[in-house]
């Protein structure tokens, strides 16, 4: 086994982007703590087996990222099992498309509890450990293209991803003195289990399938047609961005939202 580059914890790593990030960081030389909801344990075990085959140490730390106590225990468990924490990737997220007028308070609160409170808790407890360790670190959160441009029929998701940009910038200013960088990534449409109901018959991501309002559909079609790179985004594309942000080479980049 080669010398480890450190320990990385990735939330929402049972599938999709989180799984790809976990595997990429393992290939980069990190030992990995895998997180997802407790009912995803079987999928996490499969990811853990893949990481072990790469010669890296791995542990599973299930938790609901919206619950304060569980996030603290998740971070503590990762540190205990793997010997520290150098990279936190707050990747877990949910989306429940609905128009503003048809959306519910319950849906809004659930989206924010996972997409905004979750990263806040991950940033907080990871930072506490990294400060205590005294060797710096990398904190990386999941924003979205919807965190830069308002998307119709997606107000709660859009607002929660804008929140990640603000959280990231504020945390970057606070934590820079400790050698901790804080950045986020902002994917467009990526082929994952979360977006499978947005695919057309050819497998292309098509958010217009979720939008009944003609004006919103026209706006979304224009946005989609002006995407500069004309291929479906893959989880591995995002993993490569996270790989760089987690690397030593990115030590002078902080407070950014890449995407």
Q: What is the DSSP letter of 229?
A: S
With bands split at pLDDT 50, 70 and 90, how would you rate the model's confidence at 150? confident
Looking at 161, 178, 185, 248, which residue is catalytic? Answer: 161
Confidence of residue 160 (pLDDT cuts 50, 70, 90): very high
Give the pLDDT band (50/70/90) at residue 259. Answer: confident
Considering 123, 125, 157, 185, which one is annotated as catalytic?
157
Domains (ranges, CATH) in the chain? 6-191+233-258 (3.40.50.720)
Rounded mean pLDDT, 105-112:
97
Q: Is 244 a catalytic residue?
A: no
Instruction: Residue 189: count other Cβ atoms within 10 Å of its Cβ.
Output: 18
User: Which pLDDT score, from 0 to 100, does residue 200 have?
Assistant: 57
Which residue from 192, 199, 201, 248 is spatially nearest to 14, judged by alpha carbons?
A: 192
Concatenated DSSP letters for 96-149? --B-TTT--HHHHHHHHIIIIIHHHHHHHHHHHHHHHHTS-EEEEEE--GGGTS
Q: What is the pLDDT of residues 206-252, one digit of tens each?
A: 555 656 666 556 555 655 665 666 666 788 999 999 999 999 999 99
Report the SS3 class of residue 54.
coil
Maximal C-alpha separation, the chain: 57
Q: Is pLDDT larger for residue 94 or for residue 231? A: 94
Q: Which residue has the tokens 């319950």?
A: 106
What's residue 99's pLDDT?
87
Highest mean pLDDT out of 71-80, 95-104, 212-221: 71-80
**Sheet containing strand 257-258, strands side by side:** 58-60, 30-34, 6-10, 87-90, 137-142, 180-185, 257-258
Q: In the annotation, is 248 catalytic? A: no
Instruction: Give the three-class secondary structure for 2.
Output: coil
For residue 99, which of 151, 64, 60, 53 has the smallest C-alpha distance?
151
Q: What is the DSSP string of 170-221?
A: HHHHHHGGGTEEEEEE---SB-SGGGGGGB-TTS-B-GGGG---HHHHHHHH
Q: How far is CA 130 from the centre of its chain?
A: 19
pTM listed for this prediction? 0.89
> What average pLDDT does the segment 134-157 reach?
93
Per-residue confidence at 202, pLDDT binned at 50, 70, 90?
Answer: low
Q: How deeply is 230 buried, as exposed, middle or buried, from its count of CB atoms within 10 A (0-12, 13-18, 19+)? A: exposed
Token readout for 202 is 């050819």
Confidence (pLDDT) at 130:
98
What's the rounded mean pLDDT across residues 44-69? 98
Confidence tier at 2 by pLDDT (50, 70, 90): confident
State phi, psi for 3 to the nearest 5 degrees: -65, 135
User: For 112-132, how does the pLDDT look when each residue is reduced to its tens digit (9 = 90+)?
Assistant: 999 999 999 999 999 999 999
């Amino acid at each position: 086994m080669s010398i480890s580059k450190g320990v990385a914890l990735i939330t929402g790593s049972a599938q999709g982007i989180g799984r790809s990030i976990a595997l990429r960081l393992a290939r980069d030389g990190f030992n990995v703590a895998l997180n997802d909801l407790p009912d995803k344990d079987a999928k996490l075990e499969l990811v853990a087996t893949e990481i072990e085959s790469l010669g890296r140490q791995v542990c599973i730390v299930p938790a609901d990222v919206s619950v304060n106590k569980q996030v603290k225990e998740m971070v503590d468990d990762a540190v205990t099992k793997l010997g520290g924490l150098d990279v936190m990737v707050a990747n877990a997220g949910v989306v429940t498309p609905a128009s503003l007028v048809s959306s519910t308070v319950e849906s809004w609160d659930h989206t924010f509890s996972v997409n905004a409170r979750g990263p806040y808790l991950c940033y907080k407890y990871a930072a506490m450990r990294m400060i205590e360790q005294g060797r710096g670190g990398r904190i990386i959160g999941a924003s979205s293209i919807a965190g830069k441009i308002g998307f119709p029929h997606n107000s709660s998701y859009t607002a929660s991803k804008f929140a990640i940009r603000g959280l990231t910038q504020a945390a970057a200013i606070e934590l820079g003195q400790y050698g901790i960088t804080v950045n986020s990534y902002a994917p467009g449409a990526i082929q994952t289990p979360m977006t499978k109901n947005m695919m057309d018959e050819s497998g292309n991501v098509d958010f217009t399938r979720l939008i009944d309002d003609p004006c919103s559909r026209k706006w979304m079609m224009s946005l989609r047609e002006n995407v500069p790179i004309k291929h479906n985004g893959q989880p591995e594309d995002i993993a490569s961005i996270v790989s760089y942000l987690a690397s030593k080479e990115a030590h002078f980049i902080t407070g950014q939202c890449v995407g």
